[in-house]
């Protein structure tokens, strides 16, 4: 039997989800966006199969209604649900990066709702950037309302998402928000604060040139969309504040360690951090968007970049970005090549490792 998925919001996430779901031939995937141009592009590119004139028309036939909109917009749309004519069996979901505020609204409104958060992204945005492979090997978190926990609806959504090849996990909304605060939301604040600290070093303008290596890598997330991170910080505020308290306690301990200036203790601090960091998984997507960087040592000779790109092109390996490091004291390699997937990076590493002139590293 043909099932119908209606996606509201046809940006990167909504468009990519629509593309991936079309792998299931028993699904009709339709969509709507408040930007008419995005709808036109989505239809022309085959991102959706149909595009109703408005939301009210789109939800009537839908078995699944997915909000792929910013959390603030999703909350507004959820309030409008009471005026929509939907199937009694229709189930709502979303793709927002904070879940407690969404699930509280769903419980209050009495919606058949399973919160969702596909933990994948890109350096690009908009429906033009939509890819059916975006969620492959990425975590996709589901947070059902109390009424749906353990119910067939969760299993059905899990089955629906199988074609995305995402790693689906079910948890409570507060667990999601606390864990993402630890590994994603709070680190964005730290990255932003490090960049602000660099910017205030006016007596050393050359410091920004030296920041082109490791500093630029560890603060990459500070380049994320300010509007999105304003919203996330407000929506998950209490949990992020708790993490800030934990960070300040950790900094107090570190300051005491430095005040005592004991070489063995300082070394142990760095050693413990190294062991934990080295044990973190490399494969797959985590809470951050990752471009999967490959560091390459290349000789400084004319044409070497063209040679590297030529080898990758021969094996049809696509890249996301390419840059040369001027400051390499704390990283490996002169050349950083970024890839969309871990598989592309692994293929590139094999490709270049066959050439004796190139040494490759994954950090």
Residue 330: per-residue pLDDT = 44
3-class state of residue 32 by DSSP: strand
Residue 170: count other Cβ atoms within 10 Å of its Cβ: 15
28-54 average pLDDT score: 96
State how far the alpha carbon of 29 is from the alpha carbons of 18, 23, 129, 291, 313, in Å.
Answer: 6, 10, 18, 28, 34
3-class state of residue 327 by DSSP: coil
Contact (Cβ atoms closer than 8 angstroms) between residue 138 and residue 120: yes
Cα 309–chain centre separation: 27
Taking each helix axis from N to C end, the angle separating 186-199 and 226-235, rounded to the nearest 10 degrees, works out to 130
- Name residues whose C-beta falls within 8 Å of residue 145's C-beta, 6 or more positions apart in sequence: 103, 106, 107, 111, 112, 113, 114
3-class state of residue 85 by DSSP: coil
Question: Distance between CA atoms of 224 and 333, rounded to whole angstroms?
Answer: 25
284: left (phi over 0), alpha (psi -120 to 50) or beta: left
Q: Which residue has the tokens 């500093």?
A: 215
| Beta sheet of 293-297, edge-to-edge order | 321-324, 335-338, 293-297, 359-361
Query: Residue 133 half-sphere exposure, CB side, CA atoms within 13 Å?
Result: 7
Contact (Cβ atoms closer than 8 angstroms) between residue 219 and residue 194: yes
Q: Which residue has the tokens 């090549």?
A: 337
91-109 average pLDDT score: 96
Q: What is the pLDDT of residues 112-131, one digit of tens each?
A: 999 999 988 765 678 998 88
Q: What is the pLDDT of residues 141-180, one digit of tens each?
A: 999 999 999 899 999 999 999 999 899 999 999 999 999 9
Above pLDDT 70, what percent of the chain?
Answer: 90
210-223 average pLDDT score: 78
Question: Distance between CA atoms of 27 and 45, rounded to whole angstroms?
Answer: 18
Question: Distance between CA atoms of 59 and 55, rounded to whole angstroms?
Answer: 6
In 3D space, the residue among 345, 348, 291 whose CA is nearest the CA of residue 120 turns out to be 291
Contact (Cβ atoms closer than 8 angstroms) between residue 150 and residue 170: no
In 3D space, the residue among 98, 288, 293, 96 whose CA is nearest the CA of residue 183 turns out to be 288
Output the six-digit token pair for 323: 């840059």
Question: Distance between CA atoms of 96 and 72, rounded to whole angstroms?
Answer: 9
Question: Distance between CA atoms of 129 and 12, rounded to whole angstroms?
Answer: 6
Using the predicted structure, report yes or no on whether residue 288 has a pLDDT greater than 60. Answer: no
Question: Distance between CA atoms of 358 and 304, rounded to whole angstroms?
Answer: 10
In 3D space, the residue among 53, 234, 48, 225 whose CA is nearest the CA of residue 130 turns out to be 48
Q: Residue 328's pLDDT band (boundaries 50, 70, 90)? A: very low
Q: Residue 292's pLDDT band (boundaries 50, 70, 90)? A: confident
- Name residues whose C-beta falls within 8 Å of residue 152's C-beta, 6 or more positions apart in sequence: none
Contact (Cβ atoms closer than 8 angstroms) between residue 98 and residue 228: no
What is the bridge-based pairing of β-strands 335-338 and 167-170? unpaired
Q: What is the pLDDT of residues 235-272, one digit of tens each?
A: 999 999 999 999 999 999 999 999 999 999 999 999 99
Using the predicted structure, report yes or no on whether residue 185 has a pLDDT greater than 50. Answer: yes
Using the predicted structure, report yes or no on whether residue 105 has a pLDDT greater than 50. Answer: yes
- Of 93-102, 172-181, 324-333, give the lowest mean pLDDT range: 324-333
Highest-confidence range of 151-165, 203-217, 319-333, by mean pLDDT?
151-165
Output the six-digit token pair for 350: 């094999």
Using the predicted structure, report yes or no on whether residue 315 has a pLDDT greater than 80. Answer: yes
Q: What is the pLDDT of residues 46-74, one digit of tens each?
A: 999 999 999 999 999 999 999 999 999 99
Helices then strands, each counted (H, E), the chain: 15, 11
- Name residues whose C-beta falls within 8 Å of residue 164's C-beta, 6 or more positions apart in sequence: 17, 20, 21, 118, 135, 136, 140
Phi and psi at residue 140, in whole multiples of 5°? -125, 105
């Amino acid at each position: 039997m043909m099932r119908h998925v209606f996606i509201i919001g046809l940006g990167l996430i909504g468009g990519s989800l629509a593309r991936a779901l079309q792998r299931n031939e028993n699904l009709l995937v339709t969509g709507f966006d408040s930007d008419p141009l995005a709808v036109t592009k989505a239809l022309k590119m085959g991102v959706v199969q149909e595009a109703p004139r408005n939301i009210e028309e789109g939800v009537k036939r839908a078995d699944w209604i997915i909000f792929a909109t910013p959390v603030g917009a999703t909350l507004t749309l959820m309030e409008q649900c009471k005026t929509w004519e939907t199937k009694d069996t229709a189930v709502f979901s979303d793709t927002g990066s904070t879940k407690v505020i969404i699930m509280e609204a769903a419980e209050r409104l009495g919606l058949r709702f399973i919160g969702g958060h596909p933990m994948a992204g890109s350096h690009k945005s908009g429906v033009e950037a939509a890819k059916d492979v975006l969620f492959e090997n990425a975590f996709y978190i589901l947070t059902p309302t109390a009424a749906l926990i353990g119910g067939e609806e969760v299993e059905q959504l899990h089955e629906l998402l199988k074609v995305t090849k995402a790693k689906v996990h079910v948890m409570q909304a507060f667990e999601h928000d606390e864990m993402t605060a630890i590994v994603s939301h709070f680190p964005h604040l730290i990255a932003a604060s490090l960049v602000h600290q660099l910017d205030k070093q006016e007596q050393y303008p050359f410091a920004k040139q030296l920041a082109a290596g490791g500093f630029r890598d560890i603060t990459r997330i500070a380049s994320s969309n300010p509007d999105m991170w304003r919203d996330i910080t407000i929506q998950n505020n209490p949990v992020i504040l708790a993490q800030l308290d934990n960070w300040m306690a950790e900094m107090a301990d570190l300051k005491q360690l430095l005040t005592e200036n004991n070489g063995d203790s300082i070394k142990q601090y760095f050693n413990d951090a190294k062991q934990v960091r080295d044990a973190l998984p490399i494969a797959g997507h985590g809470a951050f968007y990752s471009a999967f960087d490959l560091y390459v040592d290349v000789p400084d000779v004319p044409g070497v970049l063209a040679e590297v790109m030529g080898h990758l092109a021969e094996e049809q390996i696509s890249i996301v970005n390419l840059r040369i490091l001027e400051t390499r004291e704390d990283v490996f390699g002169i050349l950083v090549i970024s890839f969309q997937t871990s598989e592309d990076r692994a293929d590139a590493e094999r490709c270049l490792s066959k050439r004796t002139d190139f040494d490759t590293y994954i950090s």
